[in-house]
């Protein structure tokens, strides 16, 4: 994987989860004395609240359960792809009429 950078809009917030599972919350830069309206900028407060949950055992259990579900679904999809390869149209190149095409 390659390192990437991004631009954060002045109205956005980001949570970065590092490989060591530490978190960084990236917030818009505020000028001295500037106030942030809760209703208009709920996303900023929500990102701070989510990041603050990182040490909560219940939150970690919830995230772990969701990851398990995602991995199970991905495994099932991979197994399905292995057992049921996609059907491709016959190009007439098969021998013996294996796909119903008669040479």
What digits encode the pLDDT tens for the residues 43-53?
999 999 999 99
Query: Is residue 2, in this structure, part of any structural domain at all?
Result: no
Query: Is residue 60, in this structure, part of any structural domain at all?
Result: yes
Where in the sequence is the domain holding 52, given as residue range(s)?
14-83
pTM for this entry: 0.60
Closest alpha carbon to 8 in 27, 33, 30:
27
Instruction: Specify the pLDDT at position 47.
Output: 94
The CA distance from 5 to 89, in Å, is 42
The count of domains in the chain is 1
Task: Encode pLDDT of 80-100 as tens digits.
Answer: 777 777 776 666 666 655 665
Phi and psi at residue 51, in whole multiples of 5°?
Answer: -65, -35
Query: Is residue 59, in this structure, part of any structural domain at all?
Result: yes
CA–CA–CA angle 42, 47, 48 (5° rounding): 100
Query: How confident is the model over 28-48, as a mean pLDDT?
Result: 88
């Amino acid at each position: 994987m390659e390192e990437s950078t991004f631009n954060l809009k002045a109205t956005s917030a980001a949570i970065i989860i590092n490989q060591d599972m530490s978190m960084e919350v990236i917030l818009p830069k505020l000028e001295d004395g500037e106030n942030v309206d809760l209703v208009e900028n709920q996303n900023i407060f929500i990102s701070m609240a989510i990041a603050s949950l990182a040490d909560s055992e219940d939150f970690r259990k919830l995230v772990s359960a969701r990851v398990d579900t995602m991995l199970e679904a991905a495994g099932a999809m991979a197994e399905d792809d292995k057992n049921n390869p996609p059907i491709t149209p016959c190009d007439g190149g098969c021998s013996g009429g294996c796909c119903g095409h008669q040479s």
